[in-house]
Structure 1
Amino acid sequence: MFKRLLYFFYYLKKSDWKLLGRFLGYASEKSGRSRPCIIFDSIFSVFRYNISFKDYYCFRFYDKPRSEREEWAGTGFMYEYQLRMNPKGSRELLENKVQFLNHYKLLVKRMFLHISGFSSDSVELNEMLRKSERLVLKGSRGQVGKEVEVISSGTYTPQKLLDYMKQHHYDLVEEFVIQHNDLNELSPSGLNTIRIITQTDKNEVIFLAARLRISVNSPVDNMGAGNIAAPVDLKTGIVTGPGVFSDITRDSASVHPVTGIKIEGFRIPHWERVLELAGTAAQNASGNRSVGWDIAVTEEGVELIEGNHNWCKLLWQLPVNRGLKADLMGFK
């Protein structure tokens, strides 16, 4: 109970109260329950189900019986689980994008450079500017789509790019990955990646889930940036449901909100190679046993983008509209 009390005060400090206020009004309107009743229930749920205030609304607990609430994996539970599966001493591989790219260089086809490794007369930088029409600038420790910017390489000289990166605190530049035409037709605004969640148990790689992350007028595809995610059948690579937002006030999308392309039934190209890549990455994760892998699909094949030790519980559960905590309970 003491640990959950600490979590409670953490949520009080870190929550986006403007967002939660909007969610509260929506939940009250949809459920017919008073706002004070929902607030009290959310506080109770933080302690009873080991969730955050935001989880309460995203999981729609205001409309769920207590028996069903037990099935959902919330923030507190996932923090503890992922800490056991991916100890702090092992996480640097996944937190540091430069270390990650070097470790998995055999699975990464795109060019990349760390700012410490080039100057304005760098041969590699000049080649990257010449070869790729667009470049991706990143902070090597940025997460959830933050510290990411896509630029047009034609407007930059090597020195101008170096100055721009220093000014905006970017320390990593990557060649832009051109996605498969099918995915580009679905949503051309950003790179739409597949999230494969793996669990290593007794040297066996288990595939827990697959989700298609779909950009909506955004250069990134993270749900937290206002984009959508859809469930994918692990056997076939076919999307099995509509795209969902983490914003509870927005309806699920059976077709893409901008392009109008149907989401359910969409077939992800090169599916067997997607799974093969995720499995290979998981086998070489250096002590990280439960990882969410982001994989891009191109015309030529597949490309490993990054791995996440703190993979998102919302991306995992919301697209299938059910709690999946039981899927993790057997792993020690």
Structure 2
Amino acid sequence: MKAIAAKVSEFITLARDGSRHHQRLFLVILFEIIWLRCRYRLMLKEIRLYGLLARDPGPLSLHKDFSARKTIAWMNRVNPPEHRSLVDIKPRFYARCRELGICVPEIYATGQPDPDLLSRLPNRFFAKPAYGAGGDGASAFVRDGTHFHSWDGRKFGDNELLGHLKELARGRELIFQQWIQTHPKLTVLSETALITCRIVTWWPNAHAIEPDILLAYLRIPAKNTIVDNTGYAENGQEMLELDTKTGMPQATWTVHSSGFGIVGSDHVCGERKIPLKALNLPDWGATLELVTNLARTFKNLSTLGWDIGMSENGPIAIEGNTAWGTPLYPSGLHAIAKAMRS
């Protein structure tokens, strides 16, 4: 009963807030929420963030056809389960890439944190779960004599760091790897996190020689974070839409400050308002070549979302995702719709 009461409360809260924001009748909004939930299997968060309660949602009404449940179900159909672990389990992915000479971060160790493992790590390293998503459990550290400093300035002794790493791991194996630095041309976008490009590849049929590039965007993280994940962009993150052929910035997309709806702009980084025309994305040709090689290597999986680090030494494959989530912007949704219909 408590679970049912909590869910009813969520519906009522969204209807109340939506009624105030869109200046529409509460009962009308509540009916639309129930209809969108039942007809399109949308989460309440999706209904709010995608602005589907507005009188005229405009081109972003496309989002109602791309619920997380629906798109993940499609990805699960086209990506055979027996092959997903080759990409989703990061140590296996990195090992295969290294065998083929594909550029990935250097791996220092994998396993549960212990004193012996800690003693074998270099002075700078990045730690993250071997199997995880959304940047959960990721952090970076620098050794300074007998102490460690985390990326956000906290200081740890050996025992304190071991305890902290165990908290991050929560029983999972951790990967301790190279801490990649962002290309100098892109450090203006984040002072802490590595700037990555999410590029989605799709094999339209078994006879295709090259994969299609469905969409590409830079992931602009929120302030004061070490992870590049944008999620639903509800905490200040942004998606910088790119032309898939040239890598030229097209528009920046994020959630409206009210929490209702998606907005596009011709600048990036929120209050700093860096104009897109001032950005010069480096190494786009090499980035596309890297992604094409990755798609060929894992061709048993029809569609993959690649996170490519735009590093000071060129593009580097950070990870692949068999369930890569949908973008916020209309052209990306159109590309996915075309792939799903095929």
TM bracket (short chain): 0.7 to 0.9
Distance 2:330 2:7 in 1: 23
Q: Which residue of 1 aligns with 2:197?
A: 194
Task: Select which of 37, 58, 61 maps to 2:28.
Answer: 37
Alignment coverage as a number of residue pairs? 313
AA partner of residue 340 (structure 2): M
Task: Select which of 203, 214, 223 maps to 1:208.
Answer: 214
Q: Which residue of 1 aligns with 2:89?
A: 96
Distance 2:131 2:7 in 1: 22
Distance 1:185 1:27, change over 3 A: same
Distance 1:325 1:196, change over 3 A: closer
Distance 1:83 1:302, change over 3 A: same
1:124-273, aligned counterparts within 5 Å? Answer: 128-130=121-123, 132=124, 135-154=125-144, 155-156=147-148, 164-169=164-169, 171-201=174-204, 202=206, 203=208, 204-217=210-223, 218-224=225-231, 226=235, 227-245=237-255, 247-248=259-260, 254-257=267-270, 259-263=272-276, 266-273=279-286
Q: Which residue of 2 aligns with 1:326?
A: 337
Distance 1:259 1:67, change over 3 A: closer
SS at 1:311 equivalent? coil
AA partner of residue 112 (structure 1): I
SS at 2:250 equivalent? coil
Q: Which residue of 1 aligns with 2:79?
A: 86
Q: Which deviates further from its counterpart, 229-238 or 111-120? A: 111-120
Distance 1:67 1:248, change over 3 A: closer
Return the offset for 1:175. Answer: 1.2
1:107 corresponds to 2:102: yes
Return the offset for 1:322. Answer: 5.9
Q: Which residue of 2 aligns with 1:3?
A: none
Q: Quick check: which one's strand share is greater?
A: 2
Task: State, as a whole percentage, how many aligned pairs show the same letter.
Answer: 22
Q: Which deviates further from its counterpart, 23-32 or 175-184? A: 23-32
AA partner of residue 338 (structure 2): D
**TM-score, normalised on structure 2?**
0.78
1:299 corresponds to 2:312: yes
Distance 1:68 1:138, change over 3 A: closer
Q: Which residue of 2 aligns with 1:4?
A: none
Question: Does the 8 Å contact 2:307/2:319 carry over to 1?
Answer: yes
Distance 1:39 1:302, change over 3 A: same
Question: Does the 8 Å contact 2:198/2:308 carry over to 1?
Answer: yes
Distance 1:234 1:118, change over 3 A: same
Distance 1:70 1:186 in 2: 29
Alignment RMSD (CA, Å):
3.5
Question: Does the 8 Å contact 1:193/1:212 carry over to 2?
Answer: yes
Question: Does the 8 Å contact 1:86/1:290 carry over to 2?
Answer: yes
1:28-49 CA-to-partner distances (Å, cap 9, x unmatched) read: 2343222332222122123323
Return the offset for 1:272. Answer: 0.7
Return the offset for 1:248. Answer: 3.2
Distance 1:182 1:205, change over 3 A: same
Distance 1:303 1:158 in 2: 31
AA partner of residue 193 (structure 1): T
Q: Which runs of 5+ in 2 are unaligned?
A: 149-156
